[in-house]
């Protein structure tokens, strides 16, 4: 059943009732319909439909969230269009990253209370759950706490981006103080997070972007250098910046044929980490170069970090400390309402923004 959201408090705590058995709800619940985004066919942003529907009751180890803010990701556009690693089971729900409050809990949920503020992480398969909604059921294991001082929009914008940057560059890439790192597509949320994490570690972040109109924003975010790939020769610029040595690490979400060009920017024994496939084309592995110079190319996804509570706590503590004192910040490029989700996806795919696109409910 859908759940209404009366702000009922008793002695400063959210009041609880239990109805039906094994599902805990906020007191005063009713049965309105929620807004839920679905797509019944793959294709462009126009296939996204905002429908009235019943979000259902949370099952064992699940919660029902009142969704306050949703962070959009390019992987969701790929899922919607049919180009993602996981194919949609139509009609499909969509979305992994949101911030909201718990309004119902299924049996077996531990460590959470009704009314708690939470952020969801992409630790479930695309389409298995979907947070493009005003109310959404999610597994409790995919949530982390949202600090009360962090707004819903900033939480939905920041957590996954900074965790991805940390996991990919620090855990997988072993980035260290004084090393150079190239960050392609640096105006994305993960790209901007990677720039800030690298700078915080004392590394030298080199941001790349196709167009010069984003260069100043990347410098403001902390990039030591910006290379505009539509104008500059990337290997020549990297040779100039590094005095011919090359970079120790590349953290790339694009892949495709440009991988060969990127590989030519690596120092001997350098590492290229690919965490996305925005090019939607096969990557070219420079076999001879890799053998001659002992290069490493590897893929990265964040799931291992998200499912390891100890590693996740360490990374999230590092990130939230810096969000709180201002060392880290995620620019919110645009804000849309849920009814305008198709337009929000058009904006996402236009690739004109710097930072995160947020949808409010």
CATH number of the domain bearing residue 28: 3.90.180.10
Claim to verify: residue 168 and residue 128 sit in the same structural domain: no
pLDDT at residue number 283: 87
> Per-residue confidence at 16, pLDDT binned at 50, 70, 90?
very low
Q: Provide, rounded to the nearest whole percent, the portion of the chain with pLDDT above 70.
A: 91
How does the average pLDDT of the chain come out, rounded? 91
With respect to residue 228, please indicate whether it lies within any of the assigned structural domains: yes
Can you give the pTM of this predicted structure? 0.88
Claim to verify: residue 165 and residue 269 sit in the same structural domain: yes
Other residues' Cβ atoms within 10 Å of the Cβ of residue 344: 22
> Per-residue confidence at 92, pLDDT binned at 50, 70, 90?
very high
With respect to residue 44, please indicate whether it lies within any of the assigned structural domains: yes
With respect to residue 319, please indicate whether it lies within any of the assigned structural domains: no
Count how many domains the chain has. Answer: 2
Picking from 185, 191, 195, 179, the residue whose alpha carbon sits closest to that of residue 246 is 179
pLDDT in tens, 41-81: 999 999 999 999 999 999 999 999 999 999 999 999 999 99
- Asked whether residue 2 carries a pLDDT value surpassing 70, the answer given is no
Residue 277, domain extent: 158-303
Claim to verify: residue 182 and residue 288 sit in the same structural domain: yes
Alpha carbon distance 361, 325 (integer Å): 28
> Per-residue confidence at 12, pLDDT binned at 50, 70, 90?
very low
Report how many helices (DSSP H) and strands (DSSP E) the chain contains, helices first: 10, 20
DSSP states along 244-286: TS-EEEEEES--GGGHHHHHTTEEEEEEEEE---TT-SPPPP-
With respect to residue 324, please indicate whether it lies within any of the assigned structural domains: no
Site of tokens 């720039």? 195
Alpha carbon distance 115, 112 (integer Å): 9
Claim to verify: residue 142 and residue 17 sit in the same structural domain: yes
Question: Does residue 22 or residue 145 have the better pLDDT?
Answer: 145
pLDDT at residue number 284: 84
> CA 44, 46, 49: angle at the middle one, nearest 5?
125
Claim to verify: residue 140 and residue 228 sit in the same structural domain: no
pLDDT at residue number 282: 87
> The tokens of 297 are what?
């190319």
Q: Please give the average per-residue pLDDT across 235-243, as a whole number.
A: 97
With respect to residue 105, please indicate whether it lies within any of the assigned structural domains: yes
Alpha carbon distance 216, 200 (integer Å): 19
Q: Please give the average per-residue pLDDT across 211-225, as a whole number.
A: 95
Name the percent of the chain in helix, strand, coil, to the closest 5. Answer: 30, 30, 40
Claim to verify: residue 91 and residue 119 sit in the same structural domain: yes
Q: Please give the average per-residue pLDDT across 263-275, as a whole number.
A: 97
> Per-residue confidence at 278, pLDDT binned at 50, 70, 90?
confident
Claim to verify: residue 175 and residue 297 sit in the same structural domain: yes
- Asked whether residue 8 carries a pLDDT value surpassing 70, the answer given is no
With respect to residue 322, please indicate whether it lies within any of the assigned structural domains: no
Claim to verify: residue 185 and residue 52 sit in the same structural domain: no
Alpha carbon distance 320, 324 (integer Å): 6
Buried-exposed string 83-117: b where 16+ CB fall within 10 A, e elsewhere: ebeeebeeebbbbbbbbbbbbbbbeebeeeebbbb
- Asked whether residue 28 carries a pLDDT value surpassing 70, the answer given is no
Claim to verify: residue 23 and residue 55 sit in the same structural domain: yes
Claim to verify: residue 17 and residue 87 sit in the same structural domain: yes
Those residues whose C-beta lies under 8 Å from the C-beta of residue 108, and which sit 6 or more positions away, are 60, 61
- CATH for 199: 3.40.50.720
With respect to residue 20, please indicate whether it lies within any of the assigned structural domains: yes
Claim to verify: residue 130 and residue 173 sit in the same structural domain: no
- Asked whether residue 21 carries a pLDDT value surpassing 90, the answer given is no
Claim to verify: residue 120 and residue 198 sit in the same structural domain: no
- Asked whether residue 3 carries a pLDDT value surpassing 60, the answer given is no
With respect to residue 311, please indicate whether it lies within any of the assigned structural domains: no
């Amino acid at each position: 059943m859908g759940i209404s959201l009366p702000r009922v408090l008793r002695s400063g705590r959210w009041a609880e009732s239990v109805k039906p058995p094994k599902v805990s709800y906020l007191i005063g619940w009713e049965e309105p319909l929620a807004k839920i985004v679905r797509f019944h066919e793959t294709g462009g942003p126009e296939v996204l439909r905002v429908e009235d529907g019943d979000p259902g009751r949370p099952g064992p180890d699940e919660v029902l969230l009142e969704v306050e803010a949703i962070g959009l990701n390019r992987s969701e556009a790929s899922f919607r269009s049919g180009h993602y690693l996981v194919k949609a089971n139509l009609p499909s729900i969509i979305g992994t990253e949101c911030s909201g409050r718990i309004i119902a809990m299924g049996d077996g949920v531990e460590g959470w209370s009704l009314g708690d503020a939470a952020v969801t992480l992409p630790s479930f398969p695309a389409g298995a759950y979907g947070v493009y909604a005003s109310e959404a059921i999610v597994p409790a294991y995919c949530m982390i706490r949202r600090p009360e001082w962090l707004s819903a929009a900033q939480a939905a914008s920041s957590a996954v981006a900074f965790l991805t940057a940390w996991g990919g560059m620090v855990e997988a890439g072993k980035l260290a103080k004084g090393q150079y790192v190239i960050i392609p597509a640096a105006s994305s949320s993960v790209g901007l997070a990677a720039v800030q994490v690298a700078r915080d570690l004392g590394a030298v972040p080199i941001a790349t972007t196709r167009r010069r109109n984003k260069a100043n924003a990347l410098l403001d975010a902390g990039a030591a250098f910006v290379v505009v790939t539509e104008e500059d020769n990337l290997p020549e610029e990297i040779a100039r910046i590094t005095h011919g040595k090359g970079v120790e690490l590349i953290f790339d979400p694009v892949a495709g044929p440009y991988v060969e060009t990127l590989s030519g920017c690596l120092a001997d024994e350098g590492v290229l980490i690919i965490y996305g496939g925005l090019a939607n084309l096969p990557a070219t592995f420079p076999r001879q170069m890799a053998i001659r110079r002992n290069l490493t190319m590897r893929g990265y996804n964040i799931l291992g970090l998200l499912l390891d509570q100890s590693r996740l706590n360490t990374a999230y503590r590092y990130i939230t400390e810096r969000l709180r004192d201002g060392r880290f910040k995620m620019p919110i490029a645009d804000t849309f309402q849920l009814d305008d989700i198709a337009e929000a996806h058009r904006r996402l795919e236009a690739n004109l923004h710097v930072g995160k696109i947020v949808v409010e409910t």
